[in-house]
Structure 1
Amino acid sequence: MPKANLSDMERRAIVDELLKLSNNGELPRGAYSRVGAHVARDPTTVSTIWKRYAAAVEAGVPGGEWSSRIKRNSGRKRKDREEVRAKWATVPVEERAV
Structure 2
Amino acid sequence: MSEWLRKLPGYQVYEPGLERKVLHQLPQFTVMGSLAIALPSLLARLLLSPKAERIIDILVVGTEIFFLGMVLTLAIAALIVMLAKGPAYVADAYPLTESDRPVK
TM-score by length of 2: 0.30
Higher Rg of the two aligned structures: 2
- State the structure with bigger RCO (CA 8 A, min sep 6), 1 or 2: 2
- Identify the structure with the greater helix proportion: 2
